[in-house]
Structure 1
Amino acid sequence: MLTKIYGSTIHGVSAITITIEVNVDQGVGYHLVGLPDNAIKESSYRISAALKNVGYKLPGKKITINMAPADLRKEGSAYDLSIAIGILAASGMINGENVSNYIIMGELSLDGGLQPLRGVLPIAIKAREEGFKGIILPMQNTQEAAIVDNLDVLGVENIKDVIDFFNGEKMIEPTIVDTRKQFNEKITNFPFDFSEVKGQEMAKRAIEVAAAGGHNIILIGPPGSGKTMLAKRVPSILPPLTLREALETTKIHSVAGKMGAETSLMTIRPFRSPHHTISDVALVGGGTNPQPGEISLAHNGVLFLDEMPEFKRSVLEVMRQPLEDREVTISRARFTVNYPASFMLVASMNPSPSGYFPDDPNNTSSVAEMQRYMNKLSGPLLDRIDIHVEIPKVEFEQLSDKRKGELSENIRVRVMNAREIQSKRFETENINYNAQMPPKLIEKHCQLDETSQNLIKLAMAKLNLSARAFDRILKVSRTIADLEASENIQSHHISEAIQYRSLDREFWNA
């Protein structure tokens, strides 16, 4: 008897439905075809033990299983439950009348229990798109899958629950999540606030400008000046995620297996802070079985590179293309995978190997040592960072001041107002904020008066700026103007934007 069961596989951040055809016939043998990997080939042992421990057994007949499409490689152990139910239905041990109405996924333990899966959200979205009645999966994944409406999400703890469900002996209540309620309740639930930061008013202003325009920023200062503290608070002043962005971000974290059992939806912008020993594959994604990297996990959020010069140069250089294109393409001989990577880069660094500014008495680094340290960051990479800001050490008077700083909530209001101006400006374009402007739009929206023109001309000559740095200054000045709700860029906007190019100055290039 032939039975068809449906599972799913992940390709990039989307799902592809897999048809599992199970045929039980006269004879002896177990044949699994359709490009399965070793984990799937080993499923027969897990299935046999699991069925025996819940009172069933594999039929002593010839079992042929085909996983279609047969030219697409299938990976992982998540097909155990699908194959087991298919064998039981094809051999007549359970009622197989309704099995084709569901996507069935789960890894079996030897006692019949189920282990959680990766990538449940894109699987559930695909199931709804293709008109399935529901999805049967491990109980640990139900909260995540249930944010997809118009789909019955049935969570089970043991294969016996699935057998009893299809035999009509047990009802499984669908898991229901009020997505919008959960989203709205947690949308501003931030663990850190800018009011906790003492002093550093210039740095706060630079970060506000960066957040308003989606600009990349690097913070340069001695140890203990508050670089990491400032960076961790950046998500608290970014505009809240929209529901569409939340779903998009959740899909990536789901595919990477980063979602907790109690978490169904990412409600605040991600903040990723990889260690400086990270490999280039771990940062941008890829591997034998491609997975999203840190820059994709930071999609719609912040990627923080603490002590940037300590990262291997090869790791930093692979970010150059994603910083421009805002996506990563992983190419293999048989397929190509695209991962979104639209993130705000926040980096920090010490000004010298000793950690102090050249004019600080604590600085013990020679000019040559400082230059070698600075050369770890290539010019093309620094050109892609719009804002460079120096952060001095915090004085005792500031540390001992009991007054609270400005709340993140108040800064966020100004950032959102500036973003609203940008949304209206770019409503007919395929971009969202100033940092994404291509040269054509920079020319259109960054018109300068004569005073501003002369000012930037002088800066170009004195600082020996590249063409890309020139564009960055125009973008940042446009954002500063938006924060003031100014229709035109004025000379003081240009002047402030130039101040945010610290690493272009003669001081750093000596």
Structure 2
Amino acid sequence: MFTKVNSVGIQGIEGVLIGVEADVGDGLPGFSMVGYLSSEVREAQERVKTALKNSGYRLNAKKVTVNLSPANIRKAGTSYDLPIALAVLGAYGQADLKKIGPFAAVGELGLNGRIKPVSGVMSMVMAAKKGGLRQVLLPAENAAEAKVVEHMKIIGVSSLNQAVEILKDGRTVWNEERETSGTVEPAVEEVDFREVNGQALLRRAAEIATAGMHNFLMTGPAGTGKTMIARRLPTILPPLTREEDIEISRIYSICGLLPHNRPLLGRRPFRSPHHTITPQALAGGGRPLKPGELSLASGGILFLDELTLFGRSAVEVLRQPLEEHKIILNRMEGSYELPADFLLCGAFNSCPCGWYPDRNRCRCSPAQIERYLSRLSKPIMERFDLCVQASPVSYEELVKTENGNEDSAAIRLRVQEAWERQRRRFQEERPRFNSRMGQKETREFCILGMEEEELLERIYRKKQLSARACHKILKVARTIADLEGAERISREHLAEAAGYRVLEEQIWG
């Protein structure tokens, strides 16, 4: 007897419908599985046979063949255990697979028949919905995450026996659907800009960076607050929209990083990988392919602390994502496009010992400093819109109370207003942020008066800027104008924007 159960696999960050076919017939007794399977999927036959036995099902010795189709897609992971078990039971005539109508099933089986949670459920349910299915049978622990997807009947089950019983009684499906919530409380911020004393220039640059999603670089002596500023950047970004939250949360779900008690992440990501990270871990890779740090930071902040200590090959991986805000990975089985739309924040000390430019404490020679800074290529540095030098904090600033410092909520309000101006300016078919403007948008929205044109020309010639650097000054000036509610870019806006490239000139010439 032949039966088929729909299931869903993961490719990159997208779900793909998989058909689990089972046939039970005469012949030499055995259990075989085919369909371009990874080792963990092949091992499913032992888990399934033992789970069926321990769940009380007695199956006659027959020739059992299970096929996972289409055969040109590699199947990986443990989420196929439940649909394989249901397909086998259906082929033996011990499960009714048609009473509740079309459905998909995912879940890992324990040897005792318990159903364990799996990763990537949100993408799986989305794929099932796109494929025309309206019911998904999955682990009870994944039900809250799955219910985030609207207009789907989610059936959470804890054991194989429970799944079979539910298939016999379609009314249970409606009871499960009534429990749908999909809501999540916003994550509580643990840090605040109020805690930052001094560093007015860094605070101002951080506000501009988040207002226009400009990449932001900080350097200076050790212990001046660079990391402290970076870790507070998410607190001044506007809250996630529901669509953004779902997109970010499903990436975290695929990587197994979504908290079990939260169906949605509910906050802007902040990723700070160690400087020993490999290019593959940064961009994504492995088999099956998993998103890397660039995708995990999408919609939030990617902070590279001690940037000069990162491997050259790892840093160069950033080139494509910083321009296109996505990353394309080519593998033998296909090409994968992963999101990489983040604000890059980098920080490093001015010299190997960390004390430059304080020559009373710095013992590094000019040659050592030059070698240290040469680890960062000029093309990568030009992709930072704002480059800021951190200065040591005075004792008076260090010990003053936090009451006089502006908090994250006040800064976030101005950033939200700047985002709203950009939304009205660019509308749906254009870039979302000033930093994303191409040459066409720059000419259209960064119109300068005669005095501003003369100032930009002087800056361009004096600093010997590249075309990319010149355009970045215009984009930053546009963001500064947005923060001040100005329609046109003034000389003051241009001068401030150009000032954020002084560091680049001092260090790289």
Relative to the length of structure 1, the TM-score reads 0.95
After superposition, residues 89-100 of structure 1 pair within 5 angstroms as: 89-98=90-99
- Counterpart of 1:434? 434
Q: Find the counterpart in structure 1 of residue 176 from structure 2.
A: 174
Shift of 1:216: 0.3
What one-letter code is carried by the residue in structure 2 that aligns with 1:287? G
Distance in 2 (alpha carbons) for counterparts of 1:46 and 1:100: 27
SS at match of 1:452: helix
Find the counterpart in structure 1 of residue 64 from structure 2: 63
Question: Counterpart of 1:174 in 2: which secondary structure?
Answer: helix
- The letter of the residue matching 1:23 is D
- Preserved contact between residue 238 and residue 412 of structure 2 (Cα < 8 Å): yes
Separation in 1, partners of 2:90, 2:134: 18
Aligned to 1:492: 492
- Per the alignment, do residues 24 and 389 of structure 1 end up closer, same or farther by CA in structure 2, a change over 3 Å counting? same
Do the aligned residues in 2 keep the contact of 1:137 with 1:155 (CA within 8 Å)?
A: yes
Q: Is the 8 A contact 1:10 1:16 kept in 2?
A: yes
> Equivalent residues in 2 for 1:127-142 (5 A)?
127-142=128-143
Alignment of 1:299-314 (within 5 A): 299-314=298-313
**One-letter amino acid of the structure 2 residue matched with residue 319 of structure 1:** L
Contact 1:48/1:57, CA 8 A, preserved across alignment: no
Residues in 2 aligned to 1:58 and 1:276: alpha-carbon distance in whole angstroms: 55
Amino acid at match of 1:64: T
Equivalent pair of 2:20/2:67 in contact (CA under 8 Å): yes
Shift of 1:58: 4.1
Q: Distance in 1 between matches of 2:171 and 2:70?
A: 33
Superposed counterparts of 1:161-200, under 5 Å: 161-168=162-169, 171=172, 173-174=175-176, 176-179=179-182, 181-182=183-184, 185-186=185-186, 189-200=188-199
- Larger CA deviation: 424-433 vs 272-281: 424-433
- Aligned-pair CA distance for 1:480: 0.4
Cα RMSD between the aligned structures?
Answer: 1.8
State the aligned residue count.
505
CA deviation map 1:387-407 (0-9, x unaligned):
001111111111110142101
Q: Which runs of 5+ in 2 are unaligned?
A: none
Residues 463 and 504 of structure 1 are in contact (CA less than 8 Å); yes or no, is this contact kept in structure 2? Answer: no
The letter of the residue matching 1:79 is: Y
Residue 409 of structure 1: aligned partner: 409
Deviation, 1:376, is: 0.8
**2:390 matched residue in structure 1:** 391
Aligned residues of 2:389 and 2:503 also touching (Cα < 8 A): no
**CA distance in 2: counterparts of 1:21 and 1:361, whole angstroms:** 75
* Conserved 8 A contact 1:5-1:104: yes
Q: Is the 8 A contact 1:5 1:99 kept in 2?
A: no
Q: 2:239 matched to 1:240?
A: yes
User: 2:13–2:123: 8 Å Cα contact kept in structure 1?
Assistant: yes
Moved more, 19-28 or 352-361: 352-361
CA drift of 1:335 comes to: 0.9
Give the equivalent residue in structure 2 for 1:31.
32
SS in 2 for 1:299: coil
User: Does the 8 Å CA contact 1:305/1:348 hold for their aligned counterparts?
Assistant: yes
Give the residue type in structure 2 aligned to 1:20: V
Q: Which amino acid aligns with 2:485?
A: A
Structure-2 residue corresponding to 1:316: 315
Following TM superposition, the consecutive aligned residue runs of length 4 or more in structure 1 with deviations greater than 6 angstroms are none
After TM superposition, the structure 1 = structure 2 runs for residues 26-425 of structure 1, keeping only pairs within 5 Å, are 26-27=26-27, 28-98=29-99, 101-168=102-169, 171=172, 173-174=175-176, 176-179=179-182, 181-182=183-184, 185-186=185-186, 189-404=188-403, 405-425=405-425
Q: Which residue of 1 aligns with 2:450?
A: 450
Report the identity percentage: 39
Quote the Cα distance in structure 1 between the aligned partners of 2:146 and 2:273. Answer: 28
The correspondence of residues 458-497 of structure 1 with structure 2, limited to 5 A, is 458-497=458-497
Distance 2:99 2:240 in 1: 39
Mapped to 2, the partners of 1:11 and 1:430 lie a distance apart of 29
C-alpha separation between the residues in 1 aligned to 2:305 and 2:465?
Answer: 26
1:183-241 deviation per Cα after TM superposition (whole angstroms, max 9, x unaligned)? xx416x32211111111111100000011111000111212111111111101111111
In the aligned structure 1, how far is the partner of 2:12 from the partner of 2:101?
Answer: 25
Distance (whole Å) between structure 2 residues aligned to residue 295 and residue 442 of structure 1: 26
Tell me, in whole angstroms, the C-alpha distance in 1 between the residues paired with 2:425 and 2:474: 16
Secondary structure (helix, strand or coil) at the match of 1:277 reads coil
Q: Distance in 1 between matches of 2:145 and 2:98?
A: 28
Q: What is the letter of the counterpart of residue 497 of structure 1?
A: A
> In structure 2, how many angstroms separate the alpha carbons of the residues matched to 1:91 and 1:398?
77
CA contact (8 A) 1:107 1:116 kept: yes
Give, as a single letter, the amino acid of the residue that structure 1 aligns with 2:501: R
Contact in 2 for aligned 1:147/1:178 (Cα 8 Å)? yes
5+ residue gaps, structure 1, are none
Normalising by structure 2, we get a TM-score of 0.95
1:150 match: secondary structure: coil
